[in-house]
């Protein structure tokens, strides 16, 4: 199907649209955008609008890149970068439900789902296959790992490691076992992830140091467990903490 633009939609000169894009009624797409193939922008969404940053120079050239197959529902807002020549980046086959928001300089991976009114502040990074419940909000500069399940109405102000579930205010409540199984991860990987989670969160000491020691010791052999441990070496913020009651075995 060729790209179609509804007569009431506004696509500014300079915006780039991939093949098979469908721009629906009253959507606004600015010249600062690159939309991949099969992207759908629903009515009243604004893609590539100026960032909510008081010192921003509107004459500066920056943008937004949306990966192929991503769907943006009504009232979604995705702001362009505050940095010259940079872009807010959304991956492929993502689904932004109504009234969700990605602020300037966010980097969102592939196949990420945002339920209604989920919000990302500036400079947030999100890994592939992550899900945000309705009304969840993430503080600026946080990292949300791959395969994370963020509960509805959560308030996230710290980094959340790969493959976990997080709720309320930065409470890690276990592993996203259901999500891992749906993706077909082998049993060995899930078993090692549970063990790595328990080691990191329930061993006394600095969480970065514990994770680094386990990684250096080659205790775990699966790629997934090693990636989980490596997550703690990065970032500038502290880490979401586990609720001791779960002991990392939530199914």
**Residues catalogued as catalytic:** 104-105, 122
> Rounded to whole angstroms, how far apart are CA atoms 158 and 136?
13
**Residue 139, C-beta contacts closer than 8 angstroms, at least 6 positions apart:** 121, 124, 156, 157, 158, 237
Residue in the block written with tokens 């076992």? 177
> Rounded to whole angstroms, how far apart are CA atoms 56 and 222?
44
Q: Which two tokens stand for residue 212?
A: 């680094």
Q: Which bin fits 228, alpha (ψ -120 to 50), beta or left (φ > 0)?
A: alpha
The SS3 assignment for 88 reads strand
């Amino acid at each position: 199907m060729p790209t179609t633009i509804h007569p009431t939609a506004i696509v500014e000169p300079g915006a780039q649209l991939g093949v098979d894009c469908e721009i629906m009624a009253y959507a606004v797409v600015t010249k600062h955008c690159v939309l991949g193939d099969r992207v759908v922008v629903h009515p009243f969404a604004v893609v590539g609008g100026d960032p909510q940053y008081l010192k921003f120079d509107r004459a500066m050239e920056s943008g937004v890149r949306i990966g192929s197959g991503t769907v943006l529902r009504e009232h979604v807002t995705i702001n362009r970068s505050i940095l010259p020549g940079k872009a807010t980046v959304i991956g492929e086959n993502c689904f932004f439900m109504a009234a969700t928001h990605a602020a300037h300089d966010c980097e969102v991976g592939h196949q990420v789902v945002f339920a209604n009114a989920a919000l990302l502040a500036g400079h947030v990074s999100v890994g592939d296959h992550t899900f945000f419940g309705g009304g969840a909000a993430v503080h600026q500069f946080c990292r949300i790992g791959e395969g994370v399940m963020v509960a509805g109405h959560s308030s996230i102000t710290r980094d959340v490691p790969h493959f976990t579930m997080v709720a309320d205010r930065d409470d890690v409540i276990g592993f996203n076992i259901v999500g891992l199984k749906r993706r077909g991860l082998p049993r060995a990987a899930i078993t090692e992830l549970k063990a790595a989670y328990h080691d990191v969160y329930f061993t006394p000491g600095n969480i970065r140091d514990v994770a680094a020691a386990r990684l250096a010791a080659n205790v775990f052999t699966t790629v997934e467990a090693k990636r989980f441990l490596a997550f703690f070496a990065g970032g500038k913020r502290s880490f979401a903490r586990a609720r001791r009651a779960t002991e990392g075995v939530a199914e």
